[in-house]
Amino acid sequence: MTTTSRWRALTHHQLFWPVAVLVVLLLVNIPFTPDFFSIRMSDGHLYGSLVSIVLFGSPLILVAVGMTLVIATGGIDLSVGAVVAIAGALACSYMSGQADQNALSGVLLAMGLALLAALVCGLWNGFLVARMGIQPIIATLIIMVAGRGVAQLITDGQIITVNSEPYKLIGGGYWLTLPFSIFVVAVVVAVTVALTRRTALGLLVESVGGNAEASRLVGIRSRRIKIMVYVFCALCAGIAGLMISSNTSAADGNNAGLWIELDAILAVVIGGTSLLGGRFSIGGTVVGALVIQTLTTTIYTIGVPTQTNLVFKAVVVIVVCLLQSPKFRAKVFGTKGRGRATGPAETAAVAEAAPKMEVSR
Amino acid sequence: MLNRRNFIAAAVGVAAAGGLAACAKKEDSASNTSGSSGDKAITLGFSQVGAESGWRTANTDSVKEAAKEAGYTLKFSDAQQKQENQISAIRSFIAQNVDVIAFSPVVVTGWDAVLKEAKAKKIPVVLTDRSVETSDESLYVTLVGSDFTDEGRRAAKILEKVLEKAGHKGAVKIAQLEGTTGAAPAIERAKGFKEVMDADHKDDWKIVVSQTGDFTRAGGKQVMAAFLESNPDINVLFAHNDDMAIGAIQSIEAAGKKPGKDILIVSIDGVKDGFVAMSEGKINAIVECNPLLGPQLMEVVKKVHDGESVERWIKTKEGDFMQDQAEAELPNRKY
């Protein structure tokens, strides 16, 4: 009885299904790559599949964390991919014009410039959504489409290669034997969690998402909150853009961050945040982003034929989404479980389910 | 060419932009310069796909420069990845009665009507870089462009040389970084490479892993990182373009291996950064895919204008480069 109820409590935890999927995906790799979990030292830093997943997944985690807050207010930000491209393009084109690309001041200035541009994009999105009352999907579509053009304008349609050791650190370098990007992600996630869960900010965001008008009437400045989350999201995307361009030491206005907005939305959804807004889980989003990156790595390691990549991805995503759906679980596992379940567990389930149904009526 | 996928992405983007700003249709720039049909100089109408990549920009510059050098009047129009722009540009070339029309088709089909109009006016049409499908073969005179399948074959041939030079013995375990799934260069380069491999190296060569890197550096880097984990015994990398090879090199180095030594690398395209990597000893050989087809195009235009017969497919002049040629060739790289 106690074990079943514990199991029930565990499976009902919002992070259970995303984490379970992540673990399964990681385990799938073992037959194909026996030392998938091994981490060894190479060139003075840790090296291995798990390190790669975190390293390559960092930009997506950042973008997805920003997206979580936007979605929590009932919005959506399609412009993050373009902001990624703009940030990378600006930073790299500024640096490539410098005489000494290794000068720390130049690198910091380039990154500052890029983040400033991201900030402006965020303000624009926030302005359109909160002040002008434009649907978020349309408001952010503007920068999604035009922003990539801006990035191409900055890079002149070329790939800009930079040769800067300090810049390489943020997305491709190592610090204390770990990828530096892990520390950046850790700081951003920690700050976000602290700000949203240790202060009332998270609650305000959720109330704006739940009912913007009601929140305004009780005295919450919902417009200001909305502008804030779009700016935050764009800043996260800007940092991700720096990481992506730093990772390959090149800015590619055409491809950097292409479709990352969709991956980020998917990560948010896998993490259990409702697209309707009103509640969110930063932890879930981080796990969701790791699931997506692990899936990508898995496709490469287990040798899925190129033509079926996307089908494979789609199948996994469908499975994950179905597992997340309580209705689906109730239909599939519920019936199976009843068949096998012992008497008391069954009555417990019925007893638990009954009052809920009444409430919902 | 290295970025046909971008073209699709850009086309989607442009389409969306068109939806937002419905009236942003570009004035086609074919109406400048004096339409002097009485002059002796050949007037060439050229409609470019767009400016989706560095390769394409180099291609455009080459055509413009070559026309200038040959003393032709060039009427240049940028289609911005839209077929309707290209068709209206060609119509305006016909209306201006240019001597020869050349264009890089945005898409493969849907050209019959406008090409028939050109034919009715007896204006010869030359395709550059990409081909079209038509019901009537006489609608265009010739295609000036690269042969992707042959590039794949040449990559395999040059790999033989690379292996010999490195004194490689034993099994050759190849990792292949493919271009965008479904793109013509990706399909045909893989086909050509496999052709030679199956014919001459059935026993000793094997492609152990093959995956798309989307023609990008980031893609090449990520895929290679995974390859090195799942198949640590890879000793050759064949990349469908230089950018993916450059990305892969970073992963190989992160794994503590030496690109160009522990893993021999052959790639296609020959962009400047590829040659930089080759001069550093990190790429072993590059098969060129040349965008600088301007001079060849002008030659063909002259022949067509003079009524000489030309071949149906004039292949771009392209070179194969080994490491020892990298230093010397580097200053010549324009793109």
Residue with the bigger pLDDT between B7 and A180: it is: A180
For residue A42, the chain B residues in CB contact (below 8 A) are 254-256
Q: Which range, A59-73, A165-179, A262-276, A305-319, has the best average confidence (pLDDT)?
A: A59-73
Q: Taking CA atoms, what residue in B is nearest to A162? A: B273
Tokens of B305: 């204008």
Quick one: A211 and A293 in the same domain?
Answer: yes
A249 CB neighbours in chain B (<8 A) are 250
What does A4-31 look like in DSSP terms, one character per residue? HHHHHHHHHSTTHHHHHHHHHHHHHTTT
- Asked if B222 lies within 8 A of A296 by C-beta distance, the reply is yes
B78 bridge partner residues: B48
State mean pLDDT over B154-173: 94
Q: What mean pLDDT comes out for the span A208-228? A: 91
Q: Could you tell me if B52 lies within 8 Å of chain A, comparing CB atoms?
A: yes
Q: Is A247 on the interface with B (CB under 8 A)?
A: yes
Note whether A193 and A339 are same-domain residues: no
A145 touches chain B (CB under 8 A): yes
CB B243 within 8 A of CB B276: no
The angle at the Cα of B165, spanning B161 to B167, to the nearest 5 degrees, equals 120
Q: What is the CATH number of the domain that holds A131?
A: 1.10.3470
Cβ distance B51 to A157 less than 8 Å, yes or no, reads yes
Residue B39 distance to chain A (closest CA, Å): 36
- Answer yes or no: is A11 within a domain: no
One domain, residues A143 and A224: yes
The per-residue pLDDT of chain A, averaged, comes to: 87
Place of tokens 């359109």: A128
Shortest distance between the Cα of A288 and any Cα of chain B, in A, equals 19
User: Tokens representing A74?
Assistant: 């009932």
CB distance A300–B16 less than 8 Å?
no
State the best of A174, A255, A258, A302 to mutate against chain B, taking most chain B CBs within 10 Å: A255
pLDDT for B211: 94
* Mean pLDDT value across chain B: 86
Complex confidence, ipTM:
0.83
Q: Does a structural domain hold residue A206?
A: yes
Residues A271 and A261 placed together within one structural domain of the fold: yes
Kindly report each contact of residues A29-33 with a partner whose C-beta sits within 8 Å and lies 24 or more positions away, as own/partner: A29/A297, A29/A298, A29/A301, A29/A302, A32/A301, A32/A302, A32/A303, A32/B230, A33/A301, A33/B229, A33/B230
Number of domains in chain A: 2
- Could you read off the pLDDT of B115-144 as tens digits, one per residue? 999 999 999 999 998 888 888 889 999 999
pTM as predicted: 0.81
Q: Is A357 exposed, middle or buried (0-12, 13-18, 19+ CB in 10 A)?
A: exposed
Cα A93 to Cα A88, A100, A118, A172, A205, distances in angstroms: 8, 13, 15, 18, 36
Structural domain harbouring A172: 56-303
Tell me, yes or no, whether A317 lies in a domain.
Answer: yes
Inter-chain residue contact B218 with A49, CB threshold 8 Å: no
A178 touches chain B (CB under 8 A): no
> Which region among A220-234, B16-30, B306-320 has the lowest average model confidence (pLDDT)?
B16-30
Distance from CA of A34 to the nearest CA of B (A): 8
Within this chain, do residues A193 and A336 fall inside the same structural domain, yes or no?
Answer: no
Domain co-membership, A260 together with A328: no
Q: Does one domain contain both A340 and A243? A: no
Q: Is residue B35 helix, strand or coil?
A: coil
Residue A116 domain-assigned?
yes
Rounded to the nearest angstrom, the minimum Cα separation between A162 and chain B is 11
B230 and A250: CB-CB below 8 Å?
no
The CA-based angle B284-B285-B287, given to 5 degrees, is: 160
Contact present, B288 and B320 (Cβ < 8 Å): yes
Interchain contact B12–A (C-beta under 8 A): no
Per-residue confidence band for A53, with pLDDT thresholds at 50, 70 and 90: very high
Which DSSP symbol is given to A307? G
Q: State the Cα–Cα distance between residues B3 and B179, nearest whole angstrom.
A: 9
Per-residue pLDDT of B97-106, as tens digits, reads: 999 999 998 8
Q: Are residues A196 and A328 in the same domain?
A: no
pLDDT one-digit tens code per residue, A74-115: 999 999 999 999 999 999 999 998 888 888 999 999 999 999
Percent of chain A with pLDDT over 90: 55
Across the interface, of A157, A256, A300, the residue whose CB is closest to B54 is A157
Q: Which residues of A touch B211 (CB under 8 A)?
A: 299-300, 303, 306, 309
Query: How confident is residue B212, by pLDDT bands cut at 50, 70 and 90?
Result: very high
Indicate whether A277 and A323 sit together in one domain: no
Same domain as A155, residue A119 = yes
Chain B, nearest residue to A306 by Cα: B211
Answer yes or no: are the C-beta atoms of A102 and A299 closer than 8 Å: no
A285-296: pLDDT as tens digits: 999 999 999 999
Residues 200-259 of B with CB under 8 A from A: 209-212, 214, 216-218, 221-223, 225-227, 229-230, 243, 246-247, 250, 253-256
The shortest C-alpha distance from B301 to chain A (Å) reads 29
CB contact under 8 Å between A248 and B56, yes or no, is: no
Whether the CB-CB separation of B85 and B26 falls below 8 Å is answered with yes
Same domain, A81 and A224: yes
Residue B148 pLDDT greater than 50, yes or no:
yes
Pair A235, A178 in one domain: yes
Which one of B17, B218, B227 has the shortest CB-CB distance to A244?
Answer: B218
pLDDT band per the 50, 70, 90 thresholds, residue A319: confident
A contact residues 273-302, partner B, Cβ 8 Å cutoff:
296-297, 299-302
Q: Which domains does chain B have, with CATH numbers?
A: 4-11+36-146+291-317 (3.40.50.2300), 148-289 (3.40.50.2300)
Q: In this structure, what token pair is assigned to residue B81?
A: 């990845």
Residue B24 contacts A where some CB pair is shorter than 8 Å: no
Q: pLDDT at position B157, please?
A: 95
pLDDT by residue (tens digit) across A11-46? 778 788 889 989 999 999 888 888 888 888 887 888
